[in-house]
Amino acid sequence: MNITGEMIIGFRSVRGTEKGIQAVNPATNELLAPVYLSSGKDNLDEACRLADAAFDIFRETSLEERAAFLEEIANQIMGIGDELILRAMSETGLPRLRLEGERGRTVNQLKLFADVVRSGNWLDIRIDQALPDRQPLPRSDLRQRQIALGPVAVFGASNFPLAFSVAGGDTASALAAGCPVIVKAHSAHPGTSELVGRAIQTAVKLKGLPEGTFSMLFDSGTSVGAALVAHPTIKAVGFTGSRAGGTALMKIASERAEPIPVYAEMCSINPVFLMPAALQARGAEIAKEFISSLSMGAGQFCTNPGLVIAVDGDELDVFMEHASNELVKVAAHTMLTPGICAAYRNGVDRLKHHPKVTAVGEGQTGTESNQCQAGLYEASTEDFLSDASLSEEIFGASSLVVRCRDISDFNLIAESLEGQLTATLQLDMEDYDSARSLLPVLERRVGRILCNGFPTGVEVCHAMVHGGPFPATSDPRMTSVGSAAINRFLRPVCYQDFPDELIPNALKDTNPLRLSRLIDGRRQI
Amino acid sequence: MNITGEMIIGFRSVRGTEKGIQAVNPATNELLAPVYLSSGKDNLDEACRLADAAFDIFRETSLEERAAFLEEIANQIMGIGDELILRAMSETGLPRLRLEGERGRTVNQLKLFADVVRSGNWLDIRIDQALPDRQPLPRSDLRQRQIALGPVAVFGASNFPLAFSVAGGDTASALAAGCPVIVKAHSAHPGTSELVGRAIQTAVKLKGLPEGTFSMLFDSGTSVGAALVAHPTIKAVGFTGSRAGGTALMKIASERAEPIPVYAEMCSINPVFLMPAALQARGAEIAKEFISSLSMGAGQFCTNPGLVIAVDGDELDVFMEHASNELVKVAAHTMLTPGICAAYRNGVDRLKHHPKVTAVGEGQTGTESNQCQAGLYEASTEDFLSDASLSEEIFGASSLVVRCRDISDFNLIAESLEGQLTATLQLDMEDYDSARSLLPVLERRVGRILCNGFPTGVEVCHAMVHGGPFPATSDPRMTSVGSAAINRFLRPVCYQDFPDELIPNALKDTNPLRLSRLIDGRRQI
């Protein structure tokens, strides 16, 4: 497949008309051809017009058609072959194994949503049968299904060039729900985006779906994305990125004539609580696992463990020593972009020069450009609680250990935190009572709580919650990973006293789609 | 029970400190004792502090405890006896039968949510079992449940002094979810609010629940409500009222340091499409039912049919004649408040003096104060489409008929509409093809579509959707009536690799609550 530098407007490949961008190989700072010109207003309007025209057809495709479409996207992505991996490597600095793994995750995610679509559970069928003889008034026949919200704008993420970008979790769940998707490709990996975008475009064509089911635009800055979110056609937004970026989109969406939901997954420092008995029993082991989680992928994960909470004492000293010893072995990894690397270095410098923060250890420095030197720092409870900047995310392999006076500080620290994607407890049986006091505080603040693991590695399954209260996300009621992510793009419609000829198949008496249904309040499989 | 004019702050009854309000009997313009003083900042802070303190306890009460609490509220409301009906009659001008019916609806709604709580379906239990031998990486044990969002602010509605006020649908569904509730009582019926609020307060005490489970504040204007929505303790808002009021709360909520969801049910003109065959076959009958729906309760329903769409011709003339003949029989009803009556008269005057609008017929004028004279008006498609003010809601028994050139206008008009709570089709079999073309347009714009009924009368059941795209509501993904309303006050939390001793009962292997669960993606009852 040739990379052309063109956007995808339905079935057409179109060169943008505005300012150009080029990907940078972060390992070499070398510019990568071709130049991608940004979308002008006409291209954006045309993508929206096509999406709007496609919506009523696409949302009523059969469950099997939509599932097969998602599987075809997966096929097409695999069909690109090694060109996709090579291009993604050069655009992101991520190693081959990681990208092959991420491709597998992306493809499996599409297949999971194919299964989700086929199951039809997401339709949440509810039927209350007519009660014509009820006194004092009869009851009508009432039937509810979920339908797609409308065309969705998806923003590619820098740190998951495949699994949370053009054909990632947001796109897969929106398409599964029946929403046409317009992707704003991330400017850090336009070539990867083009390759994947064309795979989707081909799948749309092969499956005979309406042209506007998928489009993809480039943007040299933020104006195309902003215009997309403001466009009346768009009915929801999926975004993974910074707090500044996410809150900017939330503001645009809330100020529209018709406000729309934004699903922004933004920032999280993912506190890890080292409970005393666990720390005493397995401090060295925990230290090793912690540094492994911290430094994985240069720490460029939303669920990176950026905060560790433990009680001061000999056990913590042992942990810190082991952590430092592990840290010096951590090689420098190329970060995703020069901008991310610069922001990481700024954040780490701020910590290093903070009068109340002590450096505990550092990883290796790199010899290539834009490499991340991992770092571990510490502060006291008092100093941590008195400076909100210490709980700000530093995107990369940096973590801050809070030395607590005693375990009662754990609750204080938990209560001081903003919303988080995850919280982790390292604990043994003797710690359970302390955990019982801490858990309610954490449940209020986080989307996922782990025992004796580390938060990196987000399973794509049914029970996953990759979400949490603001500012971890813009909407604590939702998850952006896992099968429940489809719920973000649905809304209920009720049909009252419809004749069988007009009611959607999913709601017919004969249950032709063999759906699980709630009939008069009782679940019937 | 004596009406005292006091607010409810947990277990205390507290006189407000700010400007006073008094209810007005709209039938006589007489002021009703006592004076209700508005809440000051201290009272509001105290209610929030108590709600925050109650939250972790209340949200983890057992399903049976919470269900019994809702049933006890119902008992306590019935226990007030006729005093409640008499006070509500004097504060709202609504007749005894309507208020007795609404009390029944309120009590049944509480009982429905008790059943919903007991069923546990809302917990949406999802378990993905550990796969320790999976290659290349093992899978953790992941379990998801829904938990309560946090303390909720509920705004009483003028037009449902019982069913959508202090112990109405918002309160019932929020308490069912496990959220403490702080009500901002509607200033039009403070005495009714006090009586019902005390019934809830008594139920909280009787059931041994934490003090902050319920509080209720008065507000002479909008500042207490605004401060409540802005308060960091509050995590969601339920509101039924005007577009101006709802959008003001949305703005406050979106500008908080932590934005929160607002569920505002605002405005709707509930279009009724008279399809040609139905109009020809049963125009007179439809006209009679239409006027009955239009004039019920002085038209003060969110689902009042404020717009009728039909093709010009003899059949429509017959319909209009019958509608006019029915209309002149419609007695004037006292409206809820002098303010609502004045706004209605302004809206009707605007129609009457609109150069493109013709008056078709009117109901009787009243002899008492604040009475609603029903009215029917008409305009052409062209004029309707060229003036957006003609699709603004006039709260009361007024409706506008759009005379279409032909049936293709139906789709044009539907496409011109903002989000609506309902749309209605009056249709016969010969109309099904036209309906098939119109339905997708309506599905995009409304929460509930009816065939051959009228939209007034919102059943409280499982399949109901009382919701719809903006500005019908602030959140098209939700319903404010029916069992699914509980979903507004929930968020998912995932528990990874939890020991049995720490995981919530709802997620234990042994399924002690006997819940329906999604295990590895398969529904198990």
Quickly list DSSP for A251-319: HHHHHSSS---EEEE-----EEEE-HHHHHHHHHHHHHHHHHHHHGGGG-STT---EEEEE-SHHHHHH
Determine the Cα–Cα distance for residues A401 and A390; give it in Å rounded to an integer: 11
Helix axes A63-80, A169-177, angle to 10 degrees: 150
Residue type, A477: R
> Does B131 touch chain A if contact means CB atoms closer than 8 Å?
no
> Does A145 touch chain B if contact means CB atoms closer than 8 Å?
no
Determine, for residues A143 and B490 on separate chains, whether the beta-carbon distance falls below 8 Å. no
The three-state secondary structure class of B136 is: coil
Contacts of A306 by beta carbon, 8 Å cutoff, 6+ apart: A268, A269, A270, A393, A394, A398, A399, A400
pLDDT band at B459 (very low <50, low <70, confident <90, very high): very high
Contact between B356 and B387 under an 8 Å Cβ cutoff? The reply is yes
Q: Which one of B55, B494, B502 has the shortest CB-CB distance to A432?
A: B502
Cα B435 to its chain centre, rounded Å, is 28
Looking at residue B63, the DSSP 8-state letter turns out to be: H
- List per-residue pLDDT tens for chain A, 525 residues long: 789 999 999 999 999 999 999 999 999 999 999 999 999 999 999 999 999 999 999 999 999 999 999 999 999 999 999 999 999 999 999 999 999 999 999 999 999 999 999 999 999 999 999 999 999 899 999 999 999 999 999 999 999 999 999 999 999 999 999 999 999 999 999 999 999 999 999 999 999 999 999 999 999 999 999 999 999 999 999 999 999 999 999 999 999 999 999 999 999 999 999 999 999 999 999 999 999 999 999 999 999 999 999 999 999 999 999 999 999 999 999 999 999 999 999 999 999 999 999 999 999 998 999 999 999 999 999 999 999 999 999 999 999 999 999 999 999 999 999 999 999 999 999 999 999 999 999 999 999 999 999 999 999 999 999 999 999 999 999 999 999 999 999 999 999 999 999 999 999 999 999 999 999 999 887
Q: Cis check for the bond before A271: say yes or no (omega within 30 of 0).
A: no
Report the percentage of chain B scoring pLDDT > 70: 100
> Does A254 touch chain B if contact means CB atoms closer than 8 Å?
yes
- Largest alpha-carbon pair distance within chain B? 82
Interface list for B 479-508 with A (CB within 8 A) = 479, 483-484, 490-499, 501-502
Helix (H) or strand (E) holding B101: helix B96-119
Min Cα distance B293 → chain A (Å) is 14
Question: Which strands sit side by side in the sheet containing B517-519, from one edge to the other?
Answer: A358-362, A375-380, A398-404, A307-311, A271-274, A420-426, A446-451, B490-496, B142-148, B125-128, B517-519, B522-524
Determine, for residues B492 and A149 on separate chains, whether the beta-carbon distance falls below 8 Å. no
**Active-site hit among A46, A91, A102, A265:** A265
Mutate to test the interface with B, among A491, A495, A522 (most CBs of B within 10 A): A491
Contacts of B199 by beta carbon, 8 Å cutoff, 6+ apart: B73, B76, B77, B79, B80, B167
Determine the Cα–Cα distance for residues B225 and B153; give it in Å rounded to an integer: 8
Determine the Cα–Cα distance for residues B70 and B66; give it in Å rounded to an integer: 6
Min Cα distance B29 → chain A (Å) is 33
Determine, for residues A450 and B496 on separate chains, whether the beta-carbon distance falls below 8 Å. yes
Determine the Cα–Cα distance for residues A515 and A508; give it in Å rounded to an integer: 10
Determine, for residues B142 and A461 on separate chains, whether the beta-carbon distance falls below 8 Å. yes
Contact between A125 and A144 under an 8 Å Cβ cutoff? The reply is yes
pLDDT band at B308 (very low <50, low <70, confident <90, very high): very high
Structure tokens at B291: 């006027």
Determine the Cα–Cα distance for residues B147 and A350; give it in Å rounded to an integer: 37
Determine, for residues B521 and A496 on separate chains, whether the beta-carbon distance falls below 8 Å. no
Contact between B92 and B161 under an 8 Å Cβ cutoff? The reply is yes
Q: Measured between beta carbons, which residues in chain B are less than 8 angstroms from residue A470?
A: 258-259
Residue type, A489: F
Q: Which one of A261, A457, A496 has the shortest CB-CB distance to B449?
A: A496
pLDDT (0 to 100) of residue A319: 98
Torsion angle defined by CA atoms of residues A421, A426, A431 and A432, in that order, rounded to the nearest 10 degrees: 50
Q: Measured between beta carbons, which residues in chain B are less than 8 angstroms from residue A423?
A: none
Name residue, tokens 């994960």: A301
Strand B30-37 and strand B490-496: pairing? unpaired
Structure tokens at B35: 């004076």
The three-state secondary structure class of B448 is: strand
Give me the DSSP letters along A369-400. TTEE--EEEEEEHHHHHT-GGGGS--SSSEEE
**B109-154 tens-digit pLDDT:** 999 999 999 999 999 999 999 999 999 899 999 999 999 999 999 9
Question: What size, in residues, is chain B?
Answer: 525
Determine the Cα–Cα distance for residues B476 and B108; give it in Å rounded to an integer: 25
pLDDT (0 to 100) of residue A136: 87
Determine the Cα–Cα distance for residues B147 and B140; give it in Å rounded to an integer: 22
Where does A91-242 show beta strands of DSSP type E? 125-128, 142-148, 152-155, 181-184, 214-217, 236-240
- Largest alpha-carbon pair distance within chain A? 82
Contact between A421 and A446 under an 8 Å Cβ cutoff? The reply is yes
Helix (H) or strand (E) holding A495: strand A490-496
pLDDT of B525 > 90? The answer is: no
Over range B363-390, report the average pLDDT: 96
CB atoms < 10 A from the CB of B237, how many?
A: 27
Q: Which one of B56, B444, B501 has the shortest CB-CB distance to A432?
A: B501
> Does B51 touch chain A if contact means CB atoms closer than 8 Å?
no
Distance between first and last Cα of chain A:
46
Alpha-carbon distances, residue B319 vs A343, B210, B280, B294, B393 (angstroms): 70, 58, 9, 15, 23
pLDDT (0 to 100) of residue A356: 97
Region of residue B504 (left: phi > 0; alpha: psi -120 to 50; beta: else): beta
Would residue A265 show up in a list of annotated catalytic residues for this protein? yes
Q: What is the mean pLDDT of chain B?
A: 97
> Does B60 touch chain A if contact means CB atoms closer than 8 Å?
yes
Helix (H) or strand (E) holding B182: strand B181-184
Determine, for residues A490 and B477 on separate chains, whether the beta-carbon distance falls below 8 Å. yes
User: What's the pTM value of the predicted model, to 2 decimals?
Assistant: 0.98
Looking at residue A366, the DSSP 8-state letter turns out to be: P
Torsion angle defined by CA atoms of residues B128, B130, B133 and B138, in that order, rounded to the nearest 10 degrees: 80
**A118-168 tens-digit pLDDT:** 999 999 999 999 999 999 899 999 999 999 999 999 999 999 999 999 999
Determine, for residues A144 and B465 on separate chains, whether the beta-carbon distance falls below 8 Å. yes
* Three-class SS of B300-314: CCCCCCCEEEEECCH
Contacts of A177 by beta carbon, 8 Å cutoff, 6+ apart: A122, A148, A149, A486, A488, A489, A490
Over range B182-206, report the average pLDDT: 98
The closest alpha carbon to A442, from A473, A463, A421, belongs to A421
Min Cα distance B414 → chain A (Å) is 15
Instruction: Find residue B264's DSSP bridge partners.
Output: B239
What ipTM, to 2 d.p.?
Answer: 0.98
Q: Measured between beta carbons, which residues in chain A are less than 8 angstroms from residue B467?
A: 491-492
Q: Is B485 exposed, middle or buried (0-12, 13-18, 19+ CB in 10 A)?
A: buried
> Does B341 touch chain A if contact means CB atoms closer than 8 Å?
no
**B55-66 tens-digit pLDDT:** 999 999 999 999
pLDDT band at B297 (very low <50, low <70, confident <90, very high): very high
Determine the Cα–Cα distance for residues A107 and B462; give it in Å rounded to an integer: 36
Determine, for residues B497 and A453 on separate chains, whether the beta-carbon distance falls below 8 Å. yes
Mutate to test the interface with A, among B477, B489, B516 (most CBs of A within 10 A): B477
Instruction: Find residue B420's DSSP bridge partners.
Output: B446
The closest alpha carbon to A323, from A382, A391, A400, belongs to A400
Determine the Cα–Cα distance for residues B305 and B266; give it in Å rounded to an integer: 15
> Does A138 touch chain B if contact means CB atoms closer than 8 Å?
no
The three-state secondary structure class of A505 is: helix
Give me the DSSP letters along B234-288. --EEEEES-HHHHHHHHHHHHTSSS---EEEE-----EEEE-HHHHHHHHHHHHH
Looking at residue B211, the DSSP 8-state letter turns out to be: G
Strand A490-496 and strand B446-451: pairing? parallel
Q: Measured between beta carbons, which residues in chain B are less than 8 angstroms from residue A464?
A: 128, 142, 144, 494
pLDDT band at B2 (very low <50, low <70, confident <90, very high): confident
Residue pairs spanning A and B at CB distance below 8 A: 220
Determine the Cα–Cα distance for residues A443 and B491; give it in Å rounded to an integer: 10
Gyration radius (Cα) of chain B, Å? 25
Q: Is the dihedral of CA A62, A67, A69, A72 positive or negative?
A: negative
Alpha-carbon distances, residue B452 vs A251, B376, B424, B437 (angstroms): 42, 20, 7, 17
Interface list for A 439-468 with B (CB within 8 A) = 439-440, 443-444, 446-453, 457, 459, 461-465, 467
> Does B524 touch chain A if contact means CB atoms closer than 8 Å?
no
pLDDT band at B46 (very low <50, low <70, confident <90, very high): very high
The closest alpha carbon to A315, from A290, A295, A286, belongs to A286
pLDDT (0 to 100) of residue A39: 98
Contact between B465 and B303 under an 8 Å Cβ cutoff? The reply is no
Instruction: Find residue A239's DSSP bridge partners.
Output: A264
